[in-house]
Structure 1
Amino acid sequence: MQLNIVPARTGLTWARQGIRTFWRQPLALSGLFFLFMAVVSVMSIVPLIGGALALVLLPALTLGMMAATEVAEDKRFPMPGLLFAALKSGPQRKAMLQLGAWYALAFLIIMGVSMVVDGGTFARVYLTGANMTPEVVNSASFQAAMWVSMVLYVPLAMMFWHAPALVHWQGVAPVKSLFFSFVACWRNLRAFMVYVAVWFGVFIGVALVSMLVASLLGDASLLMAILMPAGLMVAAMFFTSMVYSVRDCFQVSGDAHAHRAHDGV
């Protein structure tokens, strides 16, 4: 396995590849993303430990979306079971769950730091879906906790961006995968900045178009009815694009077909 350094414009290519592949199997990939969200939501409502369990599953489910993308890229229909490919019996399942445990621990530490800033209001809203009022959202302590959490989450995201693929497809140990992933993101920071900027622009564009449509229809109440499904579809495209960044940042042994064979698809 060898790290590749790619030019900044590659970030745009990753986004375009994700969008193109999504539209090869839009219903299947949208359905898989909704299933992804449903699993996380259901796990989150389990008393006491639900939120932590949902966090543990996130790397494995992200790998499932990558596996589904590779199937859709070949113009084949990704079955729902692909979402759980990393949790099937095999030598990498334990490592993937260990990776998930590290993610849950790190995320909860970030939430703990935010609690020091605002007394736990932001953490309660984020983890339990507690009601927000304009007064709470606009308070200085809530804003500070939100920004502290966002800043701390960036290196966490960098560590876990490539890690699920490295663990599942390349057999890299969980701790090593975090190091390799962080280095890959850092060395290709310009490409990832372009990538994030492109998706930010896409989300903003979808929001503006939704507002325009609701305005033209003369019914402001339609805004959320249009914005929510459109936003979820764009989020599904975003997850579809992730595997392309992994491919370009690492020169690995075996190609996409080997990966799919490993997952039994």
Structure 2
Amino acid sequence: MKLNLVPARTGLAWFRAGLRTFWRQPLAFSGLFLLFIAMVSLVGMLPYVGGVLALTLLPAATLGFMAATREAASGKFPMPAILLSAFRAGRQRARAMLVLGAAYALGLVLVMGVSALADDGQFARMYLFGGPITAELANSSAFRNAVWISMALSIPLNMLFWHAPALVHWHDVPPVRSLFFSFVACVRNFWAFTLYTLAWSGLGLLVAFGLILLTAVLGQTAVLGVALMPVSLLMGAMFITSIWFSFQDSFVVSDPDAGAAPAEA
């Protein structure tokens, strides 16, 4: 396995592949995404350790959705059990995935800790433990600074973990090395990932503008509130469906069948 450098336009191909694959089986992927959210949310509700444990399981849960996309792209129907792929590939890889998850949880906590320096931890508490954004918070410059700091620091964190779960699961790469390879792949394919991000951001803005326009035309502000949640879930499901394609094109595997077994186990 080695790094594959792709042209910038490949980012748009990932975007289109995610949309195309999702709309081939929209009900299946919507159901899987709801199950994905439900799994993480239920774990997060556990007292004391729920929030940290949910963060620890995020890489494994994301890997499960990547496996589902891989199945659908090959013409198969992804069953709900595929979301547990990370824990069905043997103890060694399951343990490595949990180590990766613990590193992600630690990284995110550190990001929130740095952001807390700007607003005494108001944003960090809201993000990690939940709570509404009040008008007072939204108008607070300290709170906005904390949001911007967390967003800036989340970029390198996401680059470290973008490909890491797939590298650990399908190619048996140790967790620390997977983080390094993931970061390098994102940096070397910077323009492809930039176009990929812009495409999804543009679609998100277009959908938001459409909802606002529909609300204005109908003259019913309740429309926005009713439609926001299902539309957000739909957008999230389409986006996460595209992640597999960015991994698939970022690395060249000498043996095409290498790592196939874990997804089928």
TM range (shorter): over 0.9
* Equivalent pairs, count: 264
What CA RMSD, in Å, does the superposition of the two structures yield over aligned residues?
1.4
How many angstroms does 1:112 deviate by? 1.1
1:123 aligns with 2:116: no
Cα separation, 1, equivalents of 2:113 and 2:28: 37
| 1:37-75 deviation line (CA, Å, top 9, x unaligned) | 111111112121111000000000110011000111133
The one-letter code of the counterpart of 1:140 is S
Superposition deviation, residue 260 in structure 1: 4.7
Structure 1 position 224, deviation (Å): 2.1
1: CA distance, partners of 2:214 / 2:39: 32
Native 8 Å contact 2:118 2:145 kept in 1: yes
Of stretches 13-22 and 125-134 in structure 1, the one that deviates more from structure 2 is: 125-134
Distance 1:138 1:7 in 2: 41
Give 5+ residue unaligned stretches, structure 2: none
- Aligned equivalent of 1:55: 55
1:214 is the counterpart of 2:211: no
Runs of 4+ in 1 over 4 A off after TM superposition: 257-260
Q: Distance in 2 between matches of 1:41 and 1:60?
A: 14
1:199-229 residue CA offsets vs partner (Å, 9 max, x unmatched): 0001111111122223333311011212221
Residue 23 of structure 2 aligns with which residue? 23
* Equivalent AA in structure 2 for residue 15 of structure 1: F
Measure how far apart 1:157 and its partner are: 0.2
Is the 1:70–1:260 contact (alpha carbons within 8 Å) kept by the matching residues of 2? no
| 1:245 is the counterpart of 2:258 | no
**Aligned pairs for 1:9-158 within 5 A:** 9-88=9-88, 90=90, 91-158=92-159
Deviations 1:71-108 (A, max 9, x none): 11133221111011102250310100100000001111
What's the TM-score, normalizing by structure 1?
0.95
Any unmatched runs of 5+ in structure 1? none
The 3-state SS of whatever aligns with 2:229 is helix
Q: Please, what TM-score do these two structures have when normalized by structure 2?
A: 0.95
> Structure 2: how far apart are the matches of 1:18 and 1:260?
20
Note closer, same or farther for the CA distance 1:253–1:59 as it changes in structure 2 (3 Å cut): farther
Question: In 2, Cα distance between the equivalents of 1:254 and 1:235?
Answer: 32
Q: Aligned equivalents of 1:164 and 1:249: distance in 2?
A: 14
